[in-house]
Structure 1
Amino acid sequence: MELSVMFFGADSAAGADDHVAKYEDVLAVARCADELGFAALWTPERHFQEVGQIFPSPPVLSSALAAITERIALRGGSVVLPLHHPLRVVEDWAVVDNLSHGRAGFSVATGWHSADFVLAPDHYADRRERALGDIPLLRRLWAGESGEFTDGTGRRIAVRPQPTPVQPALPLWLTTSGSPATWEAAGALRTGVLGATVGQSRTDLADRIARYRAAYAAAPEQPGTGPTGTVTLMAHTYVGESDDAVRRRVAAPLMSYLRSYLRQTTSNRGADGDTAPLRPQQIDQLAEFAFRRYLAWGSLLGSPGTCAKMLADLRELGCDEVACFVDFGLGRDEVLASLHRLAALRKDVA
């Protein structure tokens, strides 16, 4: 099982100077993860929200990371495909692939928040169909095939994206928030699957992984894909000296992050219109419940021994890679110290 580093964003209403510092934090963590031998760096695509303000463009940030790292894979986690033209997605990530000498890849997300789709308002209603339907096209364009598209005069013309990527096949995942149908769709398309431990029980994940493996085995082969696929699970991570010390340290920032996530969820106008907005007290109660449940199972928040047991459990469950979510509100020095402790566990879970 591989270990990678996931950025997902823990911003409040910050100014430009704060954001400069946050990019410097990302670069410092990236250098450290590269030196310690982590498998990949995942950067998200997030728009217009309190959480994740510095992550509007995974390929732009990955290009910067390509210049300061040597061996670690650079992945978008995730690219909201319905917000972008497939040609532009392939062009952008082919640049990253060249700058990194063949280390690019990304996970496709359908998108969920209605506010994001001010970038492509006509693509919101059928966003899932667009995302899944464009994955075969992404693979063909990456492999050097031309595609037929409408130009500025309304004519259909054949174009081939440039530059030519280093990797002959595009490493792809499909992002899921937990829907069994999405896990099965990832298997049918023979992509990897990018999920999360938070909000799901061990039993739920065992069922989802089994569905994914079965769909993958039944699907036709795709260039550059392995025989069983890749299950990547995101987990909040902070490895400290003791369980008690870690839980005291992460309580405030993680609770703040969970409250921000809940506020973002309830502000989604694309959600059920009959659902009333949550009151602040309700958000606090839900965040407290989620925090306590998450400490019980699914996180890498604790001592090296506790985290080693969780990694072994995830491996037994069928997880191929844990994407360690590190930027949920801790300071740079704390994150780097945690990565060093986590790196010491890598050989045991490899």
Structure 2
Amino acid sequence: MEFSLFYFSGDGLKTQENKYNLLIESAKFADQNGFSALWTPERHFHPFGGLYPNPSLTSAALAMITERIQLRSGSIVMPLHNPARVAEEWSVVDNLSNGRVALAFASGWTLDDFVLSSEIHANRKESMWSGIQTVHKLWEGEQVELKDATGNTFKVRTFPRPIQRKLPTWIVCQSNATFIEAGKIGANILTSLLGGTIEEVAPQISLYRESLAKYGHDPKAGKVAMMIHTFVGEDFNTVKEQAREPFCNYLKTHIDLLENLAKNAGMKVNLEKFTEADINSLLRFAYEGWLKGRTLIGSKTTCMQMIERLKQVGVDEVACLIDFNPNCDAVMASLPYLKDLKDLCSLNQEKLVSLS
């Protein structure tokens, strides 16, 4: 099991210095302690996640303060961008990082975001797949046809040339169709438990492995990364209380997550009719629910149990979302425990290999 750090929750509303302190300091820690990657997202027009409008910018900054760790978009909303621009920007980052770029692509879902695009929201899936194909061609030095302002086509090749000849590619997947299509092109998978449980994601991972094999790819070579909220400490009950308020505040910004959790528990709720007391009660319920098999919030012992469950369904990497807690000092203090968990997983794997 590999471990990476994932960022998504930074508050872009506040006017203050050192907004990116957690990103920078945790990135340095991850680079120095054997983590596999850093994921920064693309978020628009909302204070939640508002620190991250462009992953190529954040990755360029991270390239200058790290030496070994892979720098990944988490993710690029492909229909919002010209593929040539994506190839150009990320080739710069690949050069700055000496070949440490990997890109995760998504089709997008928020209707408002598409004011940035000429693509029709309804066609975003098709636009994503065709855009990825064009980015790959440009990355590998091929010419592609683009249209000028008059509608005439001409051929272009993008610069600078990247360090890596092949672009490591991930697809953000939630639906069965996307898992299958990702396997068809031989891409890796980035998924989450935001919309379901491990038991619900397991068949989708199987579909992905089957698709890899069907289309001539090694089914064991494709990687599945699970984005998961993470805060690890010495004692489960202590960590549970430390994370309670920041996680509940996080859930308040994602009301749809609350509704999904209630639905999965067989409850019919209409949050528009809820009072503040009702919301707080639901938050307490939701937090307890998320602790049961949907997070890495806890001690090394309890989190190892979650890791084992993820391994059993074919997950290769945990993408640890750490910035749901805005307290930089608290998160940084928890990272050595996360490192110990990572090292324990590596040690257990080495023992299994030696026994075999």
Question: Do both share a fold (TM > 0.5)?
Answer: yes
Q: Quick check: 1:48 aligned with 2:45? A: yes
Out of 330, 336, 340, the residue aligned to residue 344 of structure 1 is 340
Counterpart in 2 of 1:8? 8
Counterpart in 1 of 2:328? 332
Q: Quick check: 1:66 aligned with 2:63? A: yes
Q: CA deviation digits over 1:76-117, x for unaligned, max 9?
A: 001000000001011111111000000001110110011111
Counterpart in 1 of 2:272? 278
Q: Is the 8 A contact 1:46 1:53 kept in 2?
A: yes
Distance change (3 Å), C-alpha of 1:309 and 1:200: same
3-state SS, counterpart of residue 165 of structure 1: coil
Counterpart in 2 of 1:167? 164
Q: Quick check: 1:247 aligned with 2:243? A: no
3-state SS, counterpart of residue 19 of structure 2: helix
Question: Which deviates the most, 209-218 or 4-13?
Answer: 4-13
Counterpart in 2 of 1:302? 298
3-state SS, counterpart of residue 323 of structure 1: strand
Separation (CA, whole Å) in 2 of partners of 1:50 and 1:116:
14
Distance change (3 Å), C-alpha of 1:157 and 1:48: same
Counterpart in 2 of 1:130? 127
Distance change (3 Å), C-alpha of 1:261 and 1:10: farther
Separation (CA, whole Å) in 1 of partners of 2:160 and 2:200:
42
Out of 119, 131, 139, the residue aligned to residue 136 of structure 2 is 139
Matched length: 335
Separation (CA, whole Å) in 2 of partners of 1:339 and 1:348:
14
What letter corresponds to residue 290 of structure 2 in structure 1? Y
Distance change (3 Å), C-alpha of 1:280 and 1:210: same
Equivalent runs, 1:170-319 vs 2, <5 Å: 170-176=167-173, 178-221=174-217, 228-262=221-255, 278-279=272-273, 281=275, 284=280, 287-319=283-315
Distance change (3 Å), C-alpha of 1:218 and 1:286: farther
Structure 2: any 5+ residue segments left out of the alignment?
260-269, 347-356
Q: CA deviation digits over 1:132-170, x for unaligned, max 9?
A: 222222211111101001123322110001110101110
* TM-score using structure 1 length: 0.90
Distance change (3 Å), C-alpha of 1:263 and 1:213: closer
3-state SS, counterpart of residue 145 of structure 2: strand
Q: Is the 8 A contact 2:38 2:70 kept in 1?
A: yes
Deviation at residue 123 of structure 1 after TM alignment: 3.0
Alignment RMSD (CA, Å): 2.2
Q: Is the 8 A contact 2:99 2:162 kept in 1?
A: yes
What letter corresponds to residue 144 of structure 2 in structure 1? G
3-state SS, counterpart of residue 307 of structure 2: helix
Separation (CA, whole Å) in 1 of partners of 2:103 and 2:95:
15
Q: Is the 8 A contact 2:139 2:165 kept in 1?
A: yes
Separation (CA, whole Å) in 1 of partners of 2:125 and 2:62:
30
Q: CA deviation digits over 1:184-205, x for unaligned, max 9?
A: 1211121111001233222112
Deviation at residue 265 of structure 1 after TM alignment: 10
Out of 16, 21, 24, the residue aligned to residue 18 of structure 2 is 21
Q: Is the 8 A contact 1:217 1:228 kept in 2?
A: no
Percent of matched pairs sharing the same residue: 40
Out of 311, 315, 321, the residue aligned to residue 317 of structure 2 is 321
* TM-score using structure 2 length: 0.88
Q: Is the 8 A contact 2:28 2:66 kept in 1?
A: yes
Q: Is the 8 A contact 2:79 2:119 kept in 1?
A: no
Deviation at residue 319 of structure 1 after TM alignment: 0.5
3-state SS, counterpart of residue 253 of structure 2: helix
Structure 1: any 5+ residue segments left out of the alignment?
267-275
Separation (CA, whole Å) in 2 of partners of 1:13 and 1:153:
40
What letter corresponds to residue 9 of structure 1 in structure 2? S
What letter corresponds to residue 296 of structure 1 in structure 2? K
Separation (CA, whole Å) in 1 of partners of 2:122 and 2:191:
23
